[in-house]
Amino acid sequence: MPKAAIYPPTQAKLFFALLWREDWDGFNHFLHELENQWGNIKRDYRPSFFPMVKYYEKEMGAPLSRAFLFIEGKVDRAEFAKIKKWSMDWEDKTCLQEKRVINIDPGLLCLEQVLLISTKPYAHRISIPGNLYIELTYIYDRGEFKPLPWTYPDYSHRETIEIFESER
């Protein structure tokens, strides 16, 4: 195949899926630091549906809040691992008694897909340098994002899909 047939990836919009303990007094400082590092928050969605809340309350405590924050502008996909490591550093440095008060999951919203990044390998995740794994969460087909068999329940919910479609 000639080099001329190699296409660059489409641009991506950075987002963060957040889950945090409502009584954590560092949340506004975190938001300030997130914007300093990655850009201004364009949209802040607070979905009503989050089926995993009981699971996370065991580690993080209660009550918890959920948000999807979309960052203005585009991000280079090559930055994805760096963004994940920044997120993990924030989770580590804000732990109280070795328990997270915030769960920060960065993602990339692209024209043709939505990607998440994880530290855990699975058959449907692709390994990238740094012991991280990219997960295809949605594909864009016939005018809408479609979840896949492994897509998390909250991402499979119509409300969440509509959030991502409106940001696309």
Give 80-93 pLDDT, tens digit per residue: 999 999 999 999 99
**How does residue 166 score in pLDDT terms, banded at 50, 70 and 90?**
very high
What is the reported pLDDT for 1? 60
- What are the sequence ranges of the domains in the chain? 9-167
122: alpha, beta or left? (left if phi > 0; alpha if psi -120 to 50): beta
Residue 74 has pLDDT above 80, yes or no: yes
The arithmetic mean of pLDDT across residues 60-69, rounded, is: 94
Residues linked to residue 133 through DSSP beta bridges, in sequence order = 118, 127
Q: What is the mean pLDDT of residues 116-129?
A: 94
For residues 60-79, average pLDDT:
94
The pTM of this model reads: 0.93
